[in-house]
Amino acid sequence: MIEEGRASVAAGVGGEVVNGWMNRATERQGELSNTFRAMAATPELVRWRLSTPFYLIVQILKAMESILSIMMTSRVGDKIVKAGKWDEAKALYWNDAKQLVGDQFQIPGISGSSGGGLRSAQYTNVGHFERANLMGCCNGMAKCYIHEKDIESALAWLDEVNVLYLNGYYSAEQGPLYDWFDHNIDLPEITFQRVTALTTGAALLHDLGNTATAAQRRWNACDTIKGMPKPHFTPEVNAMNDMNKVVDAISLRHPDPQLCAKLKVTAPSLQIRGSWKKLQVKAPPGRIMCRLRFASFIWNSRLYVAGGAKESHGPFYRDFWCLDLIKLDEWRQLPNYPIPMSKTGLFVGWNMVVHEEQKRAYLFTGRPRLDYFNLVTETWGSITTTYKSTATDISAGVQDNWPYRGQDTCHATTQLINGKMYVFGGSHGGTKVGCNLFMELDLATKEWRRLSGYVMPPAKGDYSCPGPRVSPSSWVEKGRFWLLMGQCDREGARLTGELHGAHIGFPYSDMWSWDIEGEKWRRERVAGNPPSSRAEMACTYNPNLKKVITFGGYCANIPTVYPVQKRRFDYSYYADTFIHETPDSLSMSLIKPPSSSSSTSAGISDRPIPPSEIPQPKWRQVLTRGFPTYRCQAQLHTDTATGKTYLFGGFTNTDYVPSRGSSLNTRSFGDVWQLRLDVPGGDFEGVDLDEEARTAKAGPWQRCFTCGDAGMWKTCSGTCNGRAFFCGPECHKEGWKEHKGTHKCKKNMK
């Protein structure tokens, strides 16, 4: 059943074609008996009864009733919680969970551990009733940790409910399924436990300031079950899916200026202080640096920016610029990209990656001819690469000895490590929806090799590798190529008549890693306080800080509501900042899977180890009071010479700035920002915390009239009596004419 571009797959319980027979797996013993009697009246079981001795039917039904009553022991723990006996309830949830998965099984799982990842044979093979009860135990453990004010551990147990749900995909009879299918089992108890985990997690994340992921979980709790039969919508589920709470969540901006000035670090393992500093740089005379879908990189403390477009419909650029990040004096123009548009198409959605030893920045456009810019001589050049398709490559859709149809590609993600260039995903001449091709180019031999994926997305998914997508993020760390989120452009597929078309795109919320030596994908757990599903986010790995940093992005299927303007958009733009960090080797060596508990001499688990006490890779949100405005297609880079992190450019089209009234702010950006983090080497020493505190007490930070950025901006000194704010002289100059017309402002002659 496909609704608004989202598909829902309802599977029968235990392989039987029995729909809607179970109202709740949590009713009393007598009510469960009635459920099984009703089940015995279904047409499929009636035919079975006619050929089966009656006494055998009775015995089987009694056995099933007994098994189910035992399996739903998590509800016993819920009653103990209501009685306020937290320690007793926690022990019951824990022991029930270990009985279901085995004492030596790690629960909740550890992200990034050896042989770890999201997929688990134990979870894939568990029965539906056991899955429901195990979800109940996870939710129960989360409640206990919330009571103990251990939010990190609570979120870990809530995330385990989602891991259990996702592992159900691997055993789906309809599979392999793409992620945009909701694999919903027609067992109301599973629906109840999923909604419990999503809404409870949403409340915790909102309190932490992660309003984007909170809004996504609230929305998903309602959206993913909307095609299920009526028995799933119990009073408990309907109460948790309170539409007033959903509307409140999607009415916030992420971050929301009304909230972020008040936020404090209350959970250091999930949050970190940061500060965005806007750098004042003059635009070149007669030139516009604002752009989207451009290529950029940092080398030798210089920021390079090439190509892109001012707006989605143009004008389109093929120019090339450089900014000295030490002097911050002015943009310097370099030789334009020399290859004509007739050969390459538009210079949009491409990446440039630096080869440090060769002092070259390579640009892959989808052609066998690979272009580069010599960073020393500041001249363009190119090399010819080769590719020979194998039988396996041909079966994956490769034609004419080249994987990229039309010899073009855009919106892929590219990394260069140890002399090899890796390219994942993107669109090409044969597909708009995106692909999951993963290619490797050895720059020493100039030979390409397909590592995984398909030229065109096949009819069914492939669980061994990431799904097809455009605009994902990536980085290389600890011998692995990491892939984060992105989007399947299903709307573009619908317009071109491709497979998988729908009226709305699908943003991923997943994270994968490729073992460069072992050449195998692993779907990773997304632990901690993570960003919501999105594409077109800015992302960089800072080797000096040993942290991944992300900013902003775009989500195609989570709506944004503007109550004052009475407007709603079916998508969201973000301006939140996150870091992902992996403990050092010494800390990770403390993890001793598979056990996640202390044990008695008999080897029986007596208490769980809180997940917050186990070192593991995880996400933390960066709390900043000011920030670049909501945008996608910006780019983050690290200057390894100084350890500083910079952001440039991007685009937004749903940004209301209060001082503009009901005017919609649609524009690209050419601003440069530096992120300072409160960690050793994070350049946080220059942040004036006292000034930020005084500004926060005065109210939410102001939004720049021109660009929408939030910060300690100056009030307009004209006759408008401070109705507009500007973040700097460039924005004041650019926005003065519009502000003058909007607010009838004149220069104050006093």
Could you write out the DSSP letters of every residue in 54-92? Answer: HHHHHHHHHHHHHHHHHHTTHHHHHHHHHTT-HHHHHHH
Q: Which two tokens stand for residue 350?
A: 């491409």
The pLDDT value given to residue 257: 85
- Which among 427, 446, 715, 445 has a CA at the least distance from the CA of 437? 427
The answer to which of 169-173, 364-368, 502-506 has the lowest mean pLDDT is 169-173
The structure tokens listed for 477 are 């760390």
- Phi–psi pair at 419, nearest 5 degrees: 75, 10
Q: Band of the pLDDT at 562, cuts 50, 70, 90?
A: confident
Residue found by looking up tokens 């709603």 in the block: 568
Residues in a beta bridge with 560? 569
Task: Tell me which of 21 and 581 has the higher pLDDT.
Answer: 581
Q: What is residue 438's DSSP assignment? A: E
Q: What is the pLDDT of residues 32-86, one digit of tens each?
A: 333 333 333 444 444 444 455 555 655 564 555 455 555 578 989 999 999 999 9
**Segment holding 130, helix H or strand E:** helix 128-147
CB atoms within 10 A of CB 61: 16
User: What is the amino acid identity at position 87?
Assistant: D
Dihedrals φ, ψ of 548, to 5°? -90, 140
Other Cβ atoms less than 10 A from the Cβ of 746: the count is: 10
Distance CA 228, CA 233 (A): 8
Contact predicate 12/18, CB 8 Å: yes
Residues 6+ apart with CB under 8 A from 602: none
Between 509 and 38, the more confident residue is 509
Task: Pick the closest to residue 605 from 594, 615, 596, 618 (CA basis).
Answer: 596
CB atoms within 10 A of CB 94: 22
Q: Determine if residue 252 is left, alpha or beta; phi over 0 gives left, psi from -120 to 50 gives alpha, anything else beta.
A: beta
Angstrom distance (rounded) from CA 577 to CA 574: 9
Q: Which of 611, 627, 712, 737 is nearest to 110 (CA)?
A: 611
pLDDT at 602 over 60: no
Count other Cβ atoms within 10 Å, centred on residue 563: 10
In angstroms, the CA 727 to CA 733 distance is: 11
| pLDDT-based confidence at residue 742 (cuts at 50, 70, 90) | low
pLDDT at 750 over 80: no
Asked whether residue 673 carries a pLDDT value surpassing 70, the answer given is yes
Q: How far is the C-alpha of 25 from the C-alpha of 669, rounded, in Å?
A: 54
Distance CA(67)–CA(48), nearest Å, equals 21
259-437+447-600+614-712: CATH topology is Neuraminidase (2.120.10)
Can you give the pLDDT at residue 282?
A: 84
Residue 395's pLDDT is 98
pLDDT for the residue 284: 84
CATH 2.120.10.80 domain range(s) in the chain: 259-437+447-600+614-712
Q: For residue 595, what pLDDT is reported?
A: 43
Alpha-carbon span 513 to 477, nearest angstrom: 10
**What's CA 576's distance to the chain center, in Å?**
12
Instruction: Find, among 230, 251, 232, the residue nearest to 188 by Cα.
Output: 232
* Res. 346: pLDDT tops 50: yes
Q: In the chain, count H helices and then E strands.
A: 19, 39
Detail the DSSP E strand segments found in 435-515: 438-442, 447-452, 473-477, 480-484, 487-488, 506-507, 511-515
Which amino acid is it at 686? G
At position 182, the amino acid (one-letter code) is D
Q: What is the pLDDT of residue 721?
A: 61
pLDDT score, position 93: 96
The confidence score (pLDDT) of residue 747 equals: 77
Q: Give the pLDDT band (50/70/90) at residue 14.
A: very low
In the predicted model, is pLDDT for residue 113 greater than 50? yes
pLDDT at 709 over 60: no
Q: With a cut of 50, say whether residue 481 has pLDDT above it.
A: yes
pLDDT on residue 201: 98
The string of pLDDT tens digits covering residues 225-281 is: 998 999 999 999 999 999 999 999 999 999 998 888 789 999 999 999 999 999 989
> 214: part of which helix (H) or strand (E)?
helix 211-223
Question: Which of 184-198, 317-331, 556-570, 708-722 has the least mean pLDDT?
Answer: 708-722
pLDDT at site 9? 43
**For range 647-653, the mean pLDDT:** 94
Indicate the pLDDT class of residue 306, thresholds 50, 70 and 90: very high
- Give the pLDDT band of residue 565 (cuts 50, 70, 90): confident
Q: Does residue 137 surpass a pLDDT of 50?
A: yes
8, pLDDT greater than 50: no
What's the mean pLDDT in 516-529? 97
Six-digit token string for 292: 């989207």
Asked whether residue 589 carries a pLDDT value surpassing 80, the answer given is no
The pTM of this model reads 0.86
Measuring CA to CA, which residue among 16, 71, 2 is closest to residue 47? 16
